[in-house]
Structure 1
Amino acid sequence: MHPSFVPPRRVKIGDAAAFAGTTPRAIRHYHEIGLLPEPERGGDDRRRYGYEDMVRLLWVRRMADTGIALDDIRDAFAGSAPGSSAPAGSVPRNSDDDDIAAVLERLDEALVAQEAELRRQRAAVQRMRTQGSRAGLLSDVVTERLANVPEGSLRQADLDTLLVTERIFGPLGAAIQATRFIALAGSPDLRAESDRVDAAEEALDDTVAVDDPRVSQVAAERHAFEQKLEAAMEEAGLDEGDEALLDSWDAGEISDTGQTSMSVLEAVGKMPYDFSPARLRCMELAVELGARG
């Protein structure tokens, strides 16, 4: 005798759906894809679901709730099809248990990947709550590099630049560039000079000819500033942090998908905005000055 909670011997699709915790539409879909056999119909030509149909429907719902794809559930029920040795409505068993094991193995791997992604997302949210800024959305290696920067010393433009850099050069490139912003955050004089050189470069718009004397002048100013900034980073020991990052990357401890071997001028071509010919020439000259030492 069946337990008292078993539904009536034959019920309509609405009652079957309510009992299984699903919808009539979902049950009809199960019929369409061959996951749930068509039940007998009553005198009114409507489907009537018996005990065995309900048991199978419950197993389908329980398996679907674990994340198993409907096609895989259908394969798992193959051993319960008419003509098989398994009793109808029983726990699904494939004639080849290895097939079911493979399905469950794939599901387990997918769940492990989802768990890892959820942990990553939660860590990003916690970093955002702690830092109170969008810096938490940058890669772990970048946010860790910025961990000791005084609150409020980073500008939104700095974070925007790091976001673009991470897109082009990857987390490692962005983490190394973060060293610049750490140095600027600790020196109002360097920050002011950086702003001045940036403004001079921005002034090299399309109205300025490539051979205009201002182009080489700004390039020299950029080169001089970069030397001063590099000296400040070395004095503060920040360059040691960059070396540690590179060592970690060489050791495979940092997963990086960026193009770390790309030159500055190559990177400029991938930027989401255009530079005037005069500004591009200024960059070229600055790179040449830097190569000379």
Structure 2
Amino acid sequence: MITIGQLAASAGCTVKAVRHYHERGLLPEPERDASGYRRYGAEHAIALIKIRTLAEAGVPLSRVKELLAAGEDQFAAAIADIESTLRTRIRRLERTRQQVARLRAATSCSCRPRSPTTCGSWRNSASASVAYGSNATSGSSCTPSRRTTPPAGSPTS
């Protein structure tokens, strides 16, 4: 048997979060011992880890409560749907991260072109493909720079 603080620490949350889950009816409150402390068992730790995992996956707490009360098959089907949704979000985030990396590469170019079509880094970005057509993505005519500000005399907008 463990205390509320130990339970919270084992699940990576706060005592306040555990109490919130009690109030929302997600986590049953255990009996108190002779000294008035709540004593939690393994079943509480397992339930709290499920709650935290689902909440971190973006599942609303009202839905978490439904899932915890669901049968084994229904719970497994819901978990498969949640996992599929997470995979989709990860793919979308990865595409966005790649676009940001291309943007960073294009903006760190030492040539700081007046026209995006003269810069190989820009031409290799997805934005250039959309803005200037597929022919704008071939070749590279510049080298990356560590410069974070434009060179003297270059346009700022």
TM-score (norm 2): 0.61
Q: CA deviation at 1:124?
A: 1.4
TM-superposed deviation, 1:18: 1.9
| Separation of aligned partners in 2, 1:139 and 1:131 | 10
Query: Offset of 1:76 from its aligned partner?
Result: 2.0
Partners of 2:132 and 2:39 in 1: CA distance? 60
Query: In the alignment, what sits opposite 2:40?
Result: 49
Flag the 1:99–1:62 CA change in 2: closer, same or farther, 3 A.
closer
1: CA distance between counterparts of 2:132 and 2:15?
49
Aligned match for 1:108, one of 79, 83, 86: 83
The one-letter code sitting in structure 2 at the alignment partner of 1:12 is: T
Specify the alignment match of 1:73 in structure 2.
Answer: 64
**CA apart distance, 1:96:** 6.8
1:21 aligned residue (12, 30, 39) = 12
Distance in 2 between residues matched to 1:115 and 1:130, nearest whole Å: 22
1:98 aligns with 2:74: yes
Return the structure number with greater helix share. Answer: 1
Which runs of no fewer than 5 residues in structure 2 stay unpaired? 109-115, 117-121, 143-154
In structure 1, what is the equivalent of residue 146 of structure 2? none
Please say if 1:142 is aligned against 2:131.
yes
Count of residue pairs brought into register by the alignment: 131
1:40 shift after superposition: 0.8
Is the CA contact (8 Å cut-off) linking 1:64 and 1:70 kept in structure 2?
yes
- Residues in 1 aligned to 2:130 and 2:66: alpha-carbon distance in whole angstroms: 44
Match status 1:117 vs 2:92: yes
CA contact (8 A) 1:39 1:49 kept: yes
What displacement does 1:130 show? Answer: 3.2
The Cα offsets for residues 104-158 of structure 1, whole Å up to 9 and x where unpaired, read as 31x234223312322222221232233236965847522665445966xxx665x
**Shift in Å at residue 53 of structure 1?**
1.9
The Cα offsets for residues 26-65 of structure 1, whole Å up to 9 and x where unpaired, read as: 1111112111011111234332212322232233334444
Residue 58, structure 1, aligned to residue 49, structure 2: yes
Q: Is the 8 A contact 2:25 2:65 kept in 1?
A: yes
Unpaired runs of at least 5, structure 1: 1-8, 79-93, 158-293
- Structure 2 residue aligned with 1:187: none
The question of whether the paired residues in 1 share the 8 Å contact of 2:11 and 2:49 is answered with yes
**TM-score (ref. length: structure 1):** 0.36
Instruction: Give the structure 2 partner of residue 31 of structure 1.
Output: 22
CA drift at 1:74: 1.9
